[in-house]
Chain A
């Protein structure tokens, strides 16, 4: 079993209304040194696979087919570890 993390972020060219609103709230709280906020998703998968490559392949397909929408999002497979 492998644990795989997928980070999904809005493409840089896409406006992020949720990030913008959160940024505004942080400004109001006085965190004026924070200049921008972009909000994404973190998806953790537990994948049964023979080896690391097969686990990453499965995660890659899951991201392309369902988890990320590549019209507006990028994804990055971030973290992999063998789980017990």
Chain B
């Protein structure tokens, strides 16, 4: 089984959750990598966890993106290595230019902390290959700036390339405005890059890996990733 690096920035607060989910629930070889490290070591996959790196100063993820380890994450991703950015990690990947678009403050300015439903739009990624297309996942969100935006031509491009992996939906899988917790364009909750090896998502799969937490749907994403590493 591959080894998974969980990055730690000053202000990360979901690093231990991600480590716990991967190591203790999924049984993967997970380890922390401090943001000052120059390299990821022999990692086979990278998790950029949630939190408030650098206090979200300037813009969410804007400063973390220049941490030494992020240079190696860019190299790793460019070489095809799988990377998942969750919540603030998604924001960092956007700022780093590994994913297209940007995040605005949620519409109505509420910090939204709740269980949401996500429709799985694409199964042709290393992160969703073990999920049936259209399956509705129950996973929590917790963010103030998850309002995904991108210029119209970028939106068109990511839709045409099938890069939208998760959309906010209702319990039955209907993507509609009422199911959108933050104002994200086209209910976008998660996207991949064109090469499909970098995933960014606002919801927290690491908080939905055990029945005692109300949902185990997050495991489907990590098990897809770990299966992918095994085959690769």
Contact = CB atoms under 8 A, between A and B. Distances in A.
Contacts, number: 39
Nearest to B101: A71
B108 A17 contact: yes
Contact of A17 (B58, B66, B100, B147): B147
Given A21-B108, A69-B62, A69-B102, 18 more contacts: A13-B151, A14-B149, A15-B107, A16-B104, A17-B104, A17-B105, A17-B106, A17-B107, A18-B109, A21-B109, A66-B58, A66-B63, A71-B94, A71-B101, A71-B149, A71-B150, A72-B102, A72-B149
A17 B94 CA distance: 20
B115 to A, nearest CB: 23
B194 interface: no
A67 interface: yes
Size band of the interface chain B makes with A: 20 to 34
Contacts of B217: none
Interface residues of A, number: 12
For the residues of A in contact with B, the DSSP-based class is loop
A46 B95 CA distance: 25
B114 interface: no
A15 B149 CA distance: 9
Contacts of B50: none
